[in-house]
Amino acid sequence: MARKSKHTTKRRPGKVVEKKHEERTEVKRPEPSGDVISSYEFELDGVPASVTISREPKEFVPIYKIKCPELEPGTKAVLDDVREKLIEETVIPFGEVLNPDEMEDLKGQFYRKAFSLIRDRLPHLSIKKQRTLTGILMHNSLGLGMIEMLLQDKNLEELVINSSKEPVWIYHMKLGWLKTNVYMPSETSTYNYSAQIGRRVGTQITNLRPLMDAYMTSGDRANATLFPISSHGNTLTIRKFARRPWAITDFIKEGTLSADVAAFLWLAIQYELNIVVAGGTASGKTSLLNVLTSFIPPNHRVISIEETRELQLPQFMHWVPMTTRPPNPEGKGEVSMLDLMINSLRMRPDRVLVGEIRRSREANVLFEAIHTGHSVYSTLHANTAEETFRRLVNPPINIPPSMLASLQLIAVMHRDRRKNFRRILELSELIASGGMDEIRIELNTIFRWVPSKDKIMQWGKSHRVLNDIRLFTGMDDEELGRNLGEKKKILEWMTNKGINDINEVGKIVSTYYIDPSSVLKMMKEDQ
């Protein structure tokens, strides 16, 4: 197993700096490609990268080859000298850097000082090459080396290091799993990257705690394991956080859901009905929950509770995000999902968003929140609405039917692995019947995806949801129909106009709540 190496050294009293080993990620020189599937270029911090994805004769999966500038031995020596100078002059926090803005400030200071030193030592190089060297130095000193370049590729969803014996794998959003030409030089370097991620957010990975789940300051989610728990070697899995959050218009454009479904969900959220979003792993549960938050009125206080930060609401909303915290090595300081849920009810929320329902006590607090007048939205691992219902009423969640009756809607997301796209599989409402002694709950499916046609169709009429909205608002069927029609037209108009920024979508929705005629006029005049 990789030993934990010494990471700190004191240069002078009061200054603590983090020292990182100089084991650089290895990139094998791309060989001539077979059948090229895709090729493109991108840049990060002045460092250019070219990518070629091809099918090779002896490989069962396509190969992702990334090429970045290679350094001559003399240039490497200069960068090592610059790095030592920077360690003496720059304070790099040892421990938590939870604020992304703080990390950006640190990177900015490092970049400016590094660029100045490189310019002095290598004045014969062009400014472009000097900036490239500065970027490479920053990635190796403050980041994860070559892994930083892979994380910059907007086409990738996941990055996986299985061991130093095999290449880094990545999950391409269109092509699925691919091998890369990037290798970790040793198990120690994988451990060092994992430990660095953990320190940044106040957690650790050690021989005694060989498993780590954490989110990076960029918002990306990281999971790490150490040998011999992972018997092939140390592992690191990074799930990328969307740099631009999905908007509801993206979902409509991609066919993930229809404008009819989106309008129906908009109506349900506007009038504070409770929703559980279910689905399998990587089916888009959290993404759907995130896009639906644009429909929450801006004068409502929103509390979100997650184990790792994934939700990203419009900037102008009254939103308080909270995340859990694992215990320290002594087993103290843990803040659980249950702790946050109980605390959130003392913060006068109008809406409560919970990352995932897993256990009975959490679920009971969640449904107790519904009964005390809060609107609640959460996610759950289940493949159908019926399976979601069974998971909720059976152990370990075990919600009594009398409490479950307060939940109005279950939206189920599905990922088609054969064609590699996501769809809303079904949208069902829960209808309770019977007396106080025995409450029976039935599922009524309103919309369903038909795979043979790849079309989301209306499957049945809503009874519970529309009745609840009539009760809360006093609207009749004609007014409800007109309201849904307006929402559908606004959604289609925003989609056709290419409005896909979550803040812009949220602003239009919020303006519609305050002055619907102005939005309808803007839409009619196609402004």
pLDDT one-digit tens code per residue, 410-435? 999 999 888 889 999 999 999 998 87
Q: Tell me, what amino acid is at 255? A: G
pLDDT of residue 162: 97
Q: What is the DSSP string of 432-492?
A: EEE-SS-EEEEEEEEEEEETTTTEEEE-S--SHHHHHHHHHH---HHHHHHHHHHHHHHHH
The arrangement of strands across the sheet holding 351-354 comes to 318-323, 301-306, 351-354, 375-381, 275-279, 409-416, 421-434, 439-450, 455-458
pLDDT of residue 13: 36
- Low-confidence stretches of the chain (pLDDT < 70) are 1-26, 28-34, 90-100, 329, 436
Tokens of 271: 């009038």
**Which residue ranges form the domains of the chain, and what is each CATH number?**
15-239 (3.30.450.380), 248-524 (3.40.50.300)
pLDDT of residue 372: 82
Q: How does 304-339 read in b/e, with b if 16+ C-beta sit within 10 Å?
A: bbbbbbbbbbbeebbbeebbbbbeeeeeeeeebbbe
pLDDT of residue 153: 95
pLDDT one-digit tens code per residue, 258-314? 999 999 999 999 999 999 999 998 899 999 999 999 999 999 999 999 887 788 999
CB 410 within 8 A of CB 385: yes
pLDDT of residue 447: 98
Residue labelled with tokens 């218009």: 249
For 368, phi then psi, to 5°, come to: -65, -35
DSSP state, residue 316: T
Strand duo 47-55 + 221-225: pairing: unpaired
pLDDT of residue 268: 97
CB 102 within 8 A of CB 216: no
Neighbours of 155 (CB within 10 A): 16
